[in-house]
Amino acid sequence: MVKSIMVQGTASDAGKSILVAGLCRIFSQDGLSCVPFKSQNMALNSYITLTGHEMGRAQVFQSEAAGKEPDVRMNPVLLKPTSDRKSQVIFNGKVLANMDAVEYHEFKPTLSHKISELYQELGAENDVIVLEGAGSPAEINLNSRDIANMGMAKIADAPVVLVADIDRGGVFASIYGTIELLEPEERARVKGVIINKFRGDKALLESGLEMIENLTNVPVLGVVPYGDFKIEDEDSVALKNVNRYYDSSKPLDIVVVSLSKMSNFTDFNSLELEPDVSVRYVFPGDSIGNPDVVLIPGSKNTLEDSIFLQESGLGKEVQKLREMGTYIFGICGGFQLLGETLLDPNQVESTTGSVKGLGLLPVETTMQETKVTAQVKGSVGELSVTGYEIHMGETILKEGCQPFSRITTENNQPVDRLDGAVSEDEKVYGTYLHGIFDGSEFRRDFLNKVRLDKGLEPLNQVTQEYSEFKAEQYDKLADILRENLDMEKIYEIINQSEEDSNGSLH
């Protein structure tokens, strides 16, 4: 029987992903082979594994915390919204179809057995699995076909810890209401409660903790405060806080244009490691101002975001900044948006057929029906770079630009092809490589070009590798959880569950 524990939340953004990462780090520190698992994830932030499979980035940072290579089995189902009504359904790393909510709800039961097989495979290879739920287990209108919360807990026969966000208010009502809405057999799986994102004096909570324990007959395993660490956010719900680290006193001002279907904004997290850089995001209605660099992120629907840039006025601002000599850098969908035209003859993303891009690079993109998913290695000039590609389009370069990089390895196989484009004056860059800024040498080299253009001396030191920085953050998170959670009780819950499953207590 697989040893496991499942973290579910009273609502979205309760902090499940971060807590799963922290528990994975603790179990790894304690000598256990541990992996995360989320049966169904809805996110525009995704990642490509070494085998060329696509999975949600939350399970990527959780696997990093566990000291494991990301494995697509950790996230069997990934839903990537393509519009307000439809999502691209990805199973075991490959695209199945585009479905609306009703179609997917009807389809879910066919996935249960396959999800169980993948879960059991991971269980046979590891000591413990930390599962993450999605949204809330009390979505009573959806629970009959649930594969993400209590439905997954049943498949895994996993004990559940319920996480509640105290920062949004009503924490005791959310805990009590969630537990009361569960079916009796589901309620029996809830072995503990964690109160998350606490600010203030814990002593003021004590009476409430005692009362909620008496009302639910479920122990409170700890109260976790806001911590001083930087770990990746999942996309949609995190955007309200993306500017929290901005520091206007730093010499390089970098702006990310927030697209309506923005994906993989985590491409820019590593820039915040640099001592001379501060990153801010601009939304419709915001002024871009006069930054040193404008970054155009990936998009799940590039044609729709091209129209968004036109209608919001952000596109015109970017074009004006280009005329002023500002550096413009687009990644994946952002690269496509920098071109002259986006064609969609097979209606992969839209019914419009074609739209105009920003016209900042002499390139043209045609949407393809097959998605490219690859981990790659290559070079930009004499600098080695690594990254991963996730895109539906093929881009052709015209006269007036040169390739950005040469790709030499794709999914561990040797290749020789070109990627991206750079304008003749080397002020506009486009690439399909997600994670291009995670490599410290390329990141510093590009920023030094910006510094020199601004009349500043280059910084010669290479800053900390992003992977090392992330490892430090996972350790900080683990320290906070050890200090504030009853880890002895959590281990007891895991071990008790295995004993129950083996029948030794019956």
Task: Give the whole-angstrom CA distance, residue 58 versus residue 38.
Answer: 9
* Residue 265 exposed, middle or buried by CB count within 10 Å (0-12, 13-18, 19+): buried
Q: For residue 241, what are its two tokens?
A: 């806080």
- Domains 3-231+470-502 and 252-455 alike in fold: yes
The identity of residue 494, as a single letter, is I
List CB contacts of 360: < 8 A, sequence separation 6 or more.
318, 319, 322, 328, 338, 339, 423, 428
Q: What pLDDT does 265 receive?
A: 87
Q: What pLDDT does 505 receive?
A: 31
The identity of residue 80, as a single letter, is K
Q: How confident is the model at residue 78 (pLDDT cuts 50, 70, 90)?
A: very high
- Domain positions in the chain are 3-231+470-502, 252-455
Task: Give the whole-angstrom CA distance, residue 280 versus residue 257.
Answer: 9
Q: What are residue 333's phi and psi, to 5 degrees?
A: -60, -30
Average pLDDT over residues 313-320: 96
Judge whether 391 counts as a catalytic residue. no
Task: Give the whole-angstrom CA distance, residue 54 versus residue 94.
Answer: 7
Task: Give the whole-angstrom CA distance, residue 341 versus residue 359.
Answer: 8
Q: How confident is the model at residue 506 (pLDDT cuts 50, 70, 90)?
A: very low
Instruction: Name the residue with tokens 């939350």.
Output: 58
Closest to 161 measured CA to CA, from 214, 226, 221, 227? 221
Find the farthest-apart pair of alpha carbons in the chain and give their distance in angstroms, rounded: 76
Indicate which residue of 24, 332, 391, 401 is catalytic: 332
CATH 3.40.50.300 fits 3-231+470-502, yes or no: yes
Run of H or E residues at 211:
helix 206-216
- Is residue 290 scored above 70 in pLDDT? yes
In contact, 59 and 71? CB cutoff 8 Å? no
In contact, 275 and 249? CB cutoff 8 Å? no
Instruction: Name the residue with tokens 């930009």.
Output: 380
Average pLDDT over residues 453-477: 91
Q: How confident is the model at residue 499 (pLDDT cuts 50, 70, 90)?
A: low
Helix/strand/coil (H, E, C) string of 213-239?
HHHHCCCEEEEEECCCCCCCCCHHHHH
Task: Give the whole-angstrom CA distance, residue 334 versus residue 330.
Answer: 4
Task: Give the whole-angstrom CA distance, residue 147 versus residue 79.
Answer: 13
C-alpha 504 chain-centroid distance = 40
* Residue 289 exposed, middle or buried by CB count within 10 Å (0-12, 13-18, 19+): exposed
Judge whether 113 counts as a catalytic residue. no
In 10 A of CB 64, how many CB atoms?
Answer: 22
CATH superfamily name and code, 252-455: Class I glutamine amidotransferase (GATase) domain (3.40.50.880)
Extended strands (E) in 23-133: 34-37, 40-42, 46-48, 54-56, 77-81, 86-91, 94-100, 128-132
- Is residue 497 scored above 70 in pLDDT? no
Task: Give the whole-angstrom CA distance, residue 467 versus residue 476.
Answer: 14
Q: What are residue 401's phi and psi, to 5 degrees?
A: -155, 170
More confident residue, 2 or 297: 297
List CB contacts of 285: < 8 A, sequence separation 6 or more.
none
In contact, 282 and 255? CB cutoff 8 Å? yes
In contact, 193 and 221? CB cutoff 8 Å? yes
Q: What pLDDT does 504 receive?
A: 35
Q: What pLDDT does 461 receive?
A: 76
Indicate which residue of 24, 53, 401, 434 is catalytic: 434
Q: How confident is the model at residue 227 (pLDDT cuts 50, 70, 90)?
A: confident
Q: For residue 315, what are its two tokens?
A: 């596109």
Run of H or E residues at 378:
strand 363-380
In contact, 314 and 282? CB cutoff 8 Å? yes
Q: For residue 445, what are its two tokens?
A: 């080299």
pLDDT in tens, 335-375: 999 999 999 998 888 777 889 999 999 999 999 988 999 99
